[in-house]
DNA sequence: ATTAACTCGTACATCGATGTTCGAGTTAAG
DNA sequence: CTTAACTCGAACATCGATGTACGAGTTAAT
């Protein structure tokens, strides 16, 4: 609820600052989930009081950032062109083009999890997560992805691996993440040929 | 430096409390990396002052916990019996028997990363991490594990997946983690048969 | 039984972060 | 140009966490 019930016409000035704050908060919170409002305000080139003028509490700011990130990521990860492709190819392209955005999305998501009550998190529908899940699901139905492991596990591992790659890349231990990431994710998702890596459906 | 330069004979009483504090700290910090000294003291059944009597600062406590965890994990993950086995089999057994300990080790490690300066972290040699790396390395030399991805990446992904499994299991989304985890890790480590999941060595 | 080690609660100083208030200055909008 | 919206810094209250000081009570060791 960042106040869009009434049009609430703001001055151009204010609008600009709100955007700057949101942007700075997104940037800072994705690297340090515990960034202070003071840091965020400074990074946005704005007084701390101004920040509180627009966001009544730190929590509401985090919430707005979450919503903002979900929107941005959802717009960027436009999968219309991926619809026609076989799932493995679609996933490879998706990762190659936007693993960074996906990772930031994931980080912000867990930053929000630290600062927001769980029910508030769950209240935000997350189209990105849904899309990933749909993609994996489609691959399974087409026989391109493995079906011996639960979908929820595959999705979780997908994000976990993404985050891991971003960490490693950030630490300089992984110069060119995209290809490595793609290979790893496909190893995870493609049907296992070796029986040792197949879950025996006891 | 938790003071083992001189024998420093302590009263049985004190010894017991130190153990209790260390134990409680390990327990709390592995779930919440930001647990307060007050919480830890209470969980240990000890006054906060007593805690500071043994550990001059929160930081030194975290450091002691890290060392303690490394020792315990190192003792439990005794791999003598795994030496003779082929790497994939060894890894499967290792995961099946001690993924929880490995995960706790990983969590504490990242908890320590939050509270300790990086150079202090690096100062603690970590036999567990080394062993995992050795195991993966051995598998690669034997032709059992893939060589198209960097070892450092495989190790990082190993831990990341472990942690992910613990998260999912904790949230009740993964009733029986061990087999799923084993299948996932082997998919990651075994040489890829499908060229789509193999890193093209450009 | 004596002593030294240890424990405990309470109280206090400090620090950093959140959120609020005030008042004076700027700036967009009509 | 006038007004209302907005911004800003400084100051303040509050809170929780860390770390210290004191003093009286327990408890292990010899």
pLDDT digits (tens, 9 = 90+) for B111-148: 898 888 888 888 887 788 888 899 999 999 999 999 99
Nucleotides of D under 7 A from a protein CB: 5-11, 16-22, 27-29
Contact B76/A at CB under 8 A:
no
Confidence class for position A202, pLDDT limits 50, 70, 90: low
pLDDT of residue B65: 95
A39 nearest nt, CA–C1': C17
pLDDT of residue A7: 52
State the average pLDDT over residues A197-201.
86
Token pair belonging to B47: 């006054």
pLDDT digits (tens, 9 = 90+) for A71-80: 888 887 777 7
**CA–CA gap between residue A87 and residue A132 (Å, rounded):** 11
**CA–CA gap between residue B42 and residue B29 (Å, rounded):** 14
pLDDT at A115 exceeding the cut of 80: yes
B199 phi/psi in degrees, rounded to 5 = -75, 120
Spatial contact of A163 and A106, defined as CB atoms under 8 Å apart: yes
Q: Which segments of B86-150 does DSSP mark as H helices, in order?
A: 87-115, 118-123, 127-141
Confidence class for position A8, pLDDT limits 50, 70, 90: low
Nearest to B183 among A149, A183, A193 (CB): A149
State the average pLDDT over residues A184-199.
96
- In order of A13, A97, A98, B16, B22, the CA distances from B115 in angstroms are 40, 35, 32, 25, 16
Token pair belonging to B105: 């080790």
**Percent helix, strand, coil in chain B (nearest 5)?**
70, 0, 30
For all residues of chain B together, what is the average pLDDT?
Answer: 89
Q: Whole-prediction pTM value?
A: 0.81
pLDDT at A137 exceeding the cut of 70: yes
Whole-number Å distance, CA B24 to C1' C3? Answer: 32
pLDDT of residue B202: 57
pLDDT at B76 exceeding the cut of 80: no
pLDDT of residue B9: 78
Interchain pair B88, A196: CB under 8 A: yes
**CA–CA gap between residue B46 and residue B38 (Å, rounded):** 9
- Cβ contacts (< 8 Å) between A186 and chain B: which residues? 192, 194, 196-197
Of residues B86 and B115, more confidence is placed in B86
pLDDT at B6 exceeding the cut of 50: no
pLDDT at A57 exceeding the cut of 90: yes
**CA–CA gap between residue B81 and residue B94 (Å, rounded):** 10
**CA–CA gap between residue B70 and residue B74 (Å, rounded):** 6
User: CB within 8 A of A188, min separation 6: which ones?
Assistant: A154, A157, A158, A161, B184, B187, B188
pLDDT at B201 exceeding the cut of 80: no
CA-angle at A87, arms to B194 and B88, nearest 5° = 35
Q: Which of A106, A158, A121, A118 is nearest to A136 (CA)?
A: A158
């Amino acid at each position: 609820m960042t106040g869009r019930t009434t049009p609430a016409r703001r001055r151009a000035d204010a609008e600009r600052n709100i955007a700057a704050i949101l942007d700075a908060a997104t940037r800072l919170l994705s690297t340090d989930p515990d960034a202070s409002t003071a840091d965020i305000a400074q990074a946005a080139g704005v007084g701390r009081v101004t920040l509180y003028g627009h966001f009544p509490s730190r929590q509401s700011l985090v919430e707005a950032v979450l919503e903002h990130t979900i929107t941005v990521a959802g717009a960027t990860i436009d999968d219309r062109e991926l619809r026609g492709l076989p799932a493995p190819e679609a996933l490879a392209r998706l990762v190659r083009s936007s693993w960074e955005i996906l990772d930031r999305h994931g980080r912000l998501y867990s930053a929000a999890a630290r600062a927001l009550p769980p029910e508030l998190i769950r209240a935000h529908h997350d189209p990105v997560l849904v899309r990933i899940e749909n993609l994996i699901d489609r691959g399974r139905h087409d026989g391109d992805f493995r079906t011996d492991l639960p979908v929820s596990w595959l999705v979780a591992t997908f994000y976990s691996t993404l985050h891991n790659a971003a960490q490693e890349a950030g630490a300089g231990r992984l110069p060119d993440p995209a290809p490595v990431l793609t290979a790893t994710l496909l190893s995870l998702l493609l049907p296992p040929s070796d029986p040792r890596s197949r879950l025996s459906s006891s």
